[in-house]
Amino acid sequence: MNKTEALGIVQNLPFEEYRQQSGLNQSTLKQWFSATQKKTAYKNYQALQFGSAGHCLLLEPEMFPELYVRAPEGLNQRGKTGKKRWAEYEEQHPGKILLRTGEWERLENIRKVFEIHPQIQKLWKNGSAEVSLFWQDSEFALDCKARLDWFDADSAIIVDLKFTNNIAKAGIQKPIQDYYAVQASWYVRAVTQLTTKVPDFFFIFIEKYAPHLIRVCSVSAEDLKHGQQKIECAIKNMSNNIS
């Protein structure tokens, strides 16, 4: 683990260790936009698994074969026989996540498109993946943390990957737009307080299905202001709930 300071920028920190560290993060803030906001625990497991696998392949390719394994052609979880065979194959690969053949092939195709995309080549020229930030917020007096997909400290650039079914709608619809604004504002806040630099923030939206279109979106000052308002609202609601 490479630390710059006790509260600061940490590289090469395993995700599980990051999760164990205390601190307010953007995921918690998103749950507190409104005191009356309807909350749901439902999440699409397969979509989350595909997104996690995609992040690993693109950001930490050396870790991918250690964490994931491809299911044999024709192996699926349909019916009792399929579920049994799937479980047996999983037992043969302890500690690894089994991906369906179609998922594996789509991820490989995404990697090929990703690696030759001109904007991404430019953004990926310098920087590090999966960078953890820890700070005590100067305004809120709270211990906080963030995990950046990609961070170029020299150029002050943050990049976050998002996988989507529809590239045309990516980042536009609400409340998703609010979620993205909060995430960007929180990450920019972290870097600014730790380095005094105000970074540029980019979302990279990647379509999960062929032809795997990619859209690079810069986050505007207006978006960051909107996210900051949401953050302030969330912290206010959290404080009221505690009191």
pLDDT tens per residue, range 40-64:
444 566 778 899 999 999 999 999 9
More confident residue, 173 or 159: 159
Kindly provide the b/e burial profile for residues 43-73, where b requires at least 16 CB atoms within 10 angstroms of the residue's own CB. Answer: eeeeeebbbebbbbbbbeeeebeeebbbbee
Tell me, yes or no, whether 96 lies in a domain. Answer: no
**pLDDT(92) > 80:** yes
**Contact (Cβ atoms closer than 8 angstroms) between residue 133 and residue 10:** yes
Give residue 24's domain range: 2-40+102-242
Q: Is the pLDDT of residue 195 over 80?
A: yes
pLDDT score for 243: 52
Residue range 220-239: mean pLDDT, rounded: 91
Is residue 62 included in any domain, yes or no? Answer: no
Work out how many domains the chain is built from and give that number: 1
Domain-embedded: residue 59 = no
Model confidence at 239, pLDDT cuts 50, 70, 90, reads confident
CATH of the domain at 160: 3.90.320.10
Domain-located, residue 199: yes
- List C-alpha distances in Å: 218 to 36, 67, 190, 227: 31, 31, 18, 14
